[in-house]
Chains A and B, each alone.
Chain A
Amino acid sequence: MSAFLIAGIVILVILYMTYPRFLRRRLSSARFFNHLPPPKKGQSRLRWGTIKFTPPFFLQLLMLVSLLAALLLLEKAFSAQEAKGLGVWIVVDTSASMSTRQNYETRMEQAIRSVDQAISRAQRAAKDKDLCFRLSALDLERRDLITRGDALAVRQAAATLKSRPLGTDLGNLHRLIRSFDNPSLEGDICRVSHLVVITDMPAPHWLAESRDVRIVWQDIGQPVENTGLTDIRAIRNPLSGRILEIRLEVTAYGVPPTSARIIISEPGGNIIKDEPLAWQQNRFWRGVFTPPRPGNYIIKVSPGGAYKYDDLAEIQISKGQDVRVDWQLRDRSLFNQLGWTQENVNPQLRVTPASSTTTGNIPTIIVGNSYLKLREKQMEIRDFLETSPLLEDINLDAVETIKFSAISLPLPAGFQPVLRGMTGDVWLAQSFDPAGAILPCLPTGGSDVIGRFSTTIFFNAVRWLLQKRVVMPLYTLTSPQTPEPGVNRLVLHKDEGNTQSPNRSSGKLSDLKPAAGKGKATPIWPILLMAAALLFLIERLLALL
């Protein structure tokens, strides 16, 4: 097809290079010419001359060239290139780790200088194109400080940034990057072309998900030595909730200091523990202390290192939580023995006789009036629920020496058999929602098989049901609503004290430059075809005129 078009172009040029050897003339006096002699033979009707560069020639030539080009460029496409300006969104990490000191300054101070460098770079790159900035602070939340501003406004706002004793939620940033694919610009907001993140965290792998916005991740963190608390955990009496001991963990980032000590002071200020940290695996120390009485205890690691928020913790030890039980059995001896507190309105546990109907979501132990007797013949167990917490530490061989009276059937709604005999009698049952257990009787108190069995299943039930109660944590972490540390409110956010995290940046400030828009790839040949059609139309119109 191309050959035909090329031949057409050649023929066109030849046609416009040929001239008739005679001129045509229309005369009113033509009648007087009919007796003139004919010319001599042998003359060609055509002669060669220079190309007649007339409008029809150009139009026809362009038409053929357009058609040829359309054929040759069938597979070519072009992308619309747009000259864009720069919209730089600067996100500064303001989490607790940015208070870490390195090179005689804090990371926060270095970050503010990086903001200034980014702004200067953007200004140089934008030149006379549009340039706008956004500024946000990131820790556990993202705070948008400026949604559209110039360099001066952003510099001024950045100078006021301070690190907060909070952790870092990179999920915020991840969601932000994903939102670039579906920008919703409202009002006077800067259209972002580049995202500059200034932080002490290594660049995550999901930065590559950004397609339209170029990301510059500046990890300004440098490895520095730090030692600090990384875990404080309470060990409680499972029944009373009373704190039995506090387990501590201290981690050394970098070379563990040989002179590091753990110092614990009790309520009143007396130091109850002051000992050097013996490092395990060359970076951890784990220890315990038993709070002698309720009150505020201060736990300190000295020296702390470059990061300060993990050096000290103040926790309040309460006297222990009472177990509040709605005891409905007539026999209250066990209740008194356990030191439980009667609670009828909002108990943590309800103990009822089998005859009463239970309602609500309170964990309940239903105690039957069954009897347990030893017998000569074994009671064969037909089936049992192996995973039931009621059977923890139960010797089923010994159980088979006990005669049970069965639980009345049908079982209350939600209950399932845990231990069943060959005749189908149900001896133990449990439910999960609401949580509950059906026991044959209260602990008998004896030391024989029956005594041990009844005691074990009772306390298995109590322990299982009481663990569902809400237990106040030993401490909480600081939050955007309560950012300052205090008693039982610590800055032990994960990895904030890790001053040795690998430095990993992504992109450079030199990437801050206006990029050509990545437009849609548009095939060229339809445009050329349209051009050829238009040229044809014009040529024909001119011929008509």
Chain B
Amino acid sequence: MLEPLPISRALLENYRISSRRQKRPGMTGGHQMRRKGQSLEFYDYRPYSPGDDIRHVDWRASARHGSADELLVRTYVSEEQMTLIISIDTRESMHLPLAMPKSRIAAWLAEAISWITLRSDDRVILHRLFGNPGGSIEELHGSGGIDAIRPILRRFFSYKASLDSVNLSVLQRRLKPAVVWLIISDLYFDMQEENDSEISQGIQLTRRIAEAQDGMRWIMLIDTDSWPYERFFLGHGSRKIEGPDLPPMDHPLEIDVPALLKVENRMKQHKQVFRELTSRGGSDYILWPWPAEQTLNPPSYFENQFGKDRVLQRLFMKENQ
């Protein structure tokens, strides 16, 4: 069951896609395409070249700023539609912790971003990051696609795969240049190479992310980090740990401070490897940590996190700014 989005439509209306200014990867700022063409928004002057449309000559500017034999032509911003791909991790680990599952936050995030994007008449591609390719990708256009967001996300999160293999083939032709690719995951996937013939899911994903950045695409990686809460929930003492990708234990573990440090270090190393493999200068890593509290309030957490996230703000350029 998909919980209703805890952010109001009025709040989302304040966001607007503003990704026109293209900057080189690695620099701050938004992306913007610069292409000559017919549009309504003035961009700049340039000297007249044979073949240009004589109707675009700005005679006053030419008289005021140009040399005697130089005419100036107006150039305009190309209003090209943006494509936002949202890849969502729906594996078993995303459905934990039970107090505030990562899948709930991921779904809200995907829904909110999709809504804003479509409201700006841009394109959204929703993608299930793991599992069988069938039914794992959906393309939505403009405001007409808003109603389809929740059913698609509901379908994604109810998907149960016996083997969580990374699903990248469906993205092959969709990862065009200048696409924005948003990946929502807890990064708890296998990063080890089993053997020479098999490449782990995590390695496959890192390679693809790295390749995407070479094509001037903007990659945003949102890490739904529930470890602070789980560490608090675990406490100290004899514990029998159960969970995804852990074989059943026939004995409990003695959890104390050193043990927790060991686990935390392993986790950090794991994520460090992932970031190193994926970083090409065109990606942003955004951490959404769970609070270390006994009682969690998902709507309050999401509203707070979504509102203060700088990277998302850069993507959407709130009108009031």
List chain A positions with a Cβ less than 8 A from chain B: 21-36, 38-40, 43
Contact A26 B96 (CB under 8 A): yes
Size of the chain B interface, CB-CB below 8 angstroms: 36
Contact A30 B245 (CB under 8 A): yes
Q: Which chain B residue shows the least CB distance to A40?
A: B254
Name the B residues within 8 Å of A40 (CB-CB): 254
User: Shortest Cβ distance from B216 into chain A, in angstroms?
Assistant: 34
Q: Which chain A residue shows the least CB distance to B93?
A: A28
B237 within 8 A of A: yes
Contact B186 A28 (CB under 8 A): yes
B238 within 8 A of A: yes
Name the B residues within 8 Å of A35 (CB-CB): 262, 266
Q: Chain A interface secondary structure, helix, strand, loop or mixed?
A: loop
Contact A26 B98 (CB under 8 A): yes
With A30-B246, A33-B253 known to touch, is A25 a contact of B263 (CB < 8 Å)? no
Contact A27 B243 (CB under 8 A): yes
Contact B237 A27 (CB under 8 A): no
Other A-B pairs, 9, CB within 8 Å; known A28-B93, A31-B243, A36-B253: A21-B252, A23-B238, A27-B241, A28-B94, A28-B102, A29-B93, A30-B242, A30-B245, A32-B263
User: Shortest Cβ distance from B250 into chain A, in angstroms?
Assistant: 9
B 93-112 to A, binary, CB cutoff 8 A, 1 in contact else 0: 11111100010000000000
With A23-B237, A28-B186, A32-B266 known to touch, is A38 a contact of B102 (CB < 8 Å)? no
Q: Interface segment, B60-68, B152-160, B225-233, B307-315?
A: B225-233
B 176-194 to A, binary, CB cutoff 8 A, 1 in contact else 0: 0000000000101000000
A-B contact pairs, 30 of them (CB 8 A): A21-B252, A23-B237, A23-B240, A25-B234, A25-B240, A26-B96, A26-B97, A26-B242, A27-B230, A27-B242, A28-B94, A29-B93, A29-B243, A29-B263, A29-B267, A30-B242, A30-B243, A30-B245, A31-B188, A31-B245, A32-B263, A32-B266, A32-B270, A33-B263, A34-B246, A34-B247, A36-B253, A39-B251, A39-B254, A40-B254
User: Shortest Cβ distance from A479 into chain B, in angstroms?
Assistant: 94
Q: Please report the C-alpha to C-alpha distance between residue A32 and residue B93 in the assembled complex, in whole angstroms.
A: 12
B239 within 8 A of A: yes
User: Shortest Cβ distance from A40 into chain B, in angstroms?
Assistant: 8
CB contact between A22 and one of B188, B237, B245, B263 (< 8 Å): that residue: B237
B259 within 8 A of A: yes
User: Shortest Cβ distance from A463 into chain B, in angstroms?
Assistant: 118
Contact B263 A39 (CB under 8 A): no
Name the B residues within 8 Å of A21 (CB-CB): 238, 252
Which residues from 206 to 258 on chain B have a C-beta closer than 8 Å to any C-beta of chain A? Answer: 226-227, 230, 233-235, 237-247, 251-254
Name the A residues within 8 Å of B98 (CB-CB): 26
Q: Which chain A residue shows the least CB distance to B262?
A: A36
Contact A29 B253 (CB under 8 A): no
User: Shortest Cβ distance from B265 into chain A, in angstroms?
Assistant: 9
Q: Please report the C-alpha to C-alpha distance between residue A69 and residue B162 in the assembled complex, in whole angstroms.
A: 52
Instruction: Pick the 6 closest A-B CB pairs, nearest first.
Output: A30-B243, A22-B252, A28-B96, A22-B238, A30-B246, A31-B245
Name the A residues within 8 Å of B254 (CB-CB): 39-40
User: Shortest Cβ distance from A44 into chain B, in angstroms?
Assistant: 11
Name the B residues within 8 Å of A43 (CB-CB): 238
Q: Please report the C-alpha to C-alpha distance between residue A31 and residue B227 in the assembled complex, in whole angstroms.
A: 12
User: Shortest Cβ distance from A36 into chain B, in angstroms?
Assistant: 5
User: Shortest Cβ distance from B80 into chain A, in angstroms?
Assistant: 40
Name the A residues within 8 Å of B246 (CB-CB): 30-31, 33-34
Name the A residues within 8 Å of B244 (CB-CB): 28, 30-31
Name the B residues within 8 Å of A26 (CB-CB): 96-98, 242-243
Name the B residues within 8 Å of A23 (CB-CB): 235, 237-240
CB contact between A33 and one of B94, B237, B241 (< 8 Å): that residue: B241
Q: Please report the C-alpha to C-alpha distance between residue A35 and residue B233 in the assembled complex, in whole angstroms.
A: 20
Contact A39 B253 (CB under 8 A): yes
Contact B234 A27 (CB under 8 A): yes
Name the B residues within 8 Å of A24 (CB-CB): 239-240, 242
Q: Please report the C-alpha to C-alpha distance between residue A30 and residue B98 in the assembled complex, in whole angstroms.
A: 14
Which residue among A21, A23, A32, A38 has the maximum number of chain B CB atoms within 10 Å of its CB? A32
Name the B residues within 8 Å of A22 (CB-CB): 237-240, 252
Q: Please report the C-alpha to C-alpha distance between residue A35 and residue B254 in the assembled complex, in whole angstroms.
A: 12
Contact A39 B270 (CB under 8 A): no
Name the A residues within 8 Å of B241 (CB-CB): 25, 27, 30, 33
Name the B residues within 8 Å of A30 (CB-CB): 241-246
User: Shortest Cβ distance from A49 into chain B, in angstroms?
Assistant: 14
CB contact between A28 and one of B97, B252, B263 (< 8 Å): that residue: B97
